[in-house]
């Protein structure tokens, strides 16, 4: 009961970069590229790759990594291959550079159809650029698949069923669906594995499939944005901190408690 898995992976700017390196390009209304800070694979997508690898370790099968974008940094995109994924498909075209969630889902759906056979599509729960948590839900709707969101555990029960532990506010829900299905993955799943040397060598030998808008028969209408960015700016904080001092750190701790009492906060 080997399963074929497609993992949707987005290349994003590094969300852990220092706050001082983050700049807004006010004319383009987007985050400016941070010089010297390479892009990364969206963190939750690495969790999704890890989830796929665990399933493959357990029951066998194949893992195809799929990404949509205007351009891709090959060393970044090959990371899932070096972790153990089998193939990489890049839907890459200038027309795919700044797509909104709806258009992204449409392109992903076309690429999934072209890949053909699959039992599971795994996505990250959200991409750390716009934190949309929207593309996978749309992809599931377009393809008519069951959609199981925010998994911390995925179990393939037989050749046709999947059980997911879905993170809730105070625990998790156990959700069942038939395959093929789409599952979004969260960091609660656990750390993604590190690439092995053998994996890195194998990844080096693999060439990705690269598909353009034409290859995918994408009609420009499909890419029309539904959301128009009117403005993009840095939020300002209006608070002014009062630093509480003392003779030493312990004294400062004492004074903090007293100050909070005076302010009526405790």
Ligand X SMILES: Nc1ncnc2c1ncn2[C@@H]1O[C@H](COP(=O)(O)O)[C@@H](O)[C@H]1O
Ligand Y SMILES: Cc1cc2nc3c(=O)[nH]c(=O)nc-3n(C[C@H](O)[C@H](O)[C@H](O)COP(=O)(O)OP(=O)(O)OC[C@H]3O[C@@H](n4cnc5c(N)ncnc54)[C@H](O)[C@@H]3O)c2cc1C
Residues 52-81 that bind ligand X (CB under 6 A): 67-69
Q: Please count the residues of the chain.
A: 266
Any residues with CB less than 8 A from the CB of 255 and at least 6 apart, and which? 244, 245, 246
Are 154 and 164 spatial neighbours (Cβ–Cβ below 8 Å)?
yes
128 near ligand Y (CB under 6 A): yes
Give the β-pairing of 147-156 and 120-124: unpaired
Residues numbered 231-250 forming contacts with another protein, rule: CB under 8 A: 231-235, 237, 239-244, 246, 248-250
Q: Which residue has the tokens 């290349």?
A: 11
Of 11 and 82, the one with the shorter C-beta distance to ligand X is: 11
- Cα separation, 15 vs 17, whole angstroms: 6
The least CB distance from residue 161 to another protein, in Å, is: 11
Q: What is the CA radius of gyration of the chain?
A: 22
15 near ligand Y (CB under 6 A): yes
Residue among 94, 158, 170, 214 that touches another protein (CB under 8 A): 170
CA 14, 18, 24: angle at the middle one, nearest 5?
A: 75
261 near another protein (CB under 8 A): yes
Which residue number is nearest to ligand X in terms of Cβ? 124
Query: What does the binding site for ligand X look like in residue numbers (CB under 6 A)?
Result: 8-10, 42, 44-45, 48, 67-69, 101, 104, 108, 123-124, 126-127, 130, 132-136
Query: What does the binding site for ligand Y look like in residue numbers (CB under 6 A)?
Result: 15, 43, 128
């Amino acid at each position: 009961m080997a399963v074929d898995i497609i993992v949707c992976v987005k290349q994003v700017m590094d969300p852990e970069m220092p706050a001082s390196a983050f700049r807004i390009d006010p004319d383009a209304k987007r985050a400016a590229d941070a010089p010297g800070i390479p892009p990364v694979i969206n963190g939750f997508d690495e969790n999704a790759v890890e989830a796929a690898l665990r399933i493959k370790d357990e029951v066998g099968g194949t893992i195809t990594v799929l990404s949509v974008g205007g351009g891709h940094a090959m060393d970044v995109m090959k990371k899932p291959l070096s972790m153990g994924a089998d193939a990489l498909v890049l839907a890459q075209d200038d027309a795919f550079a700044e797509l909104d969630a709806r258009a992204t889902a449409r392109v992903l759906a076309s690429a999934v159809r072209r890949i053909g056979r699959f039992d599971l599509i795994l996505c990250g729960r959200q991409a750390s650029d716009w934190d949309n948590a929207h593309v996978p839900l749309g992809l599931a709707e377009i393809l008519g698949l069951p959609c199981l969101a925010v998994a911390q555990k995925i179990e393939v029960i037989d050749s046709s069923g999947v059980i997911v532990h879905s993170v809730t506010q105070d625990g998790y829900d156990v959700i069942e669906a038939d395959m093929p299905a789409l599952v979004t993955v969260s960091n609660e799943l656990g750390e993604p594995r590190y690439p092995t040397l053998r994996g890195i060598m194998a990844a080096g030998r693999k060439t990705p499939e690269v598909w353009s808008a034409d290859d995918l028969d994408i009609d420009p209408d499909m890419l029309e944005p539904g959301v128009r960015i009117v403005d993009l700016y840095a939020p300002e904080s209006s608070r002014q901190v009062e630093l509480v001092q003392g003779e030493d750190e312990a004294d400062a701790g004492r004074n903090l408690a007293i100050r909070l009492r005076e302010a009526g906060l405790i």
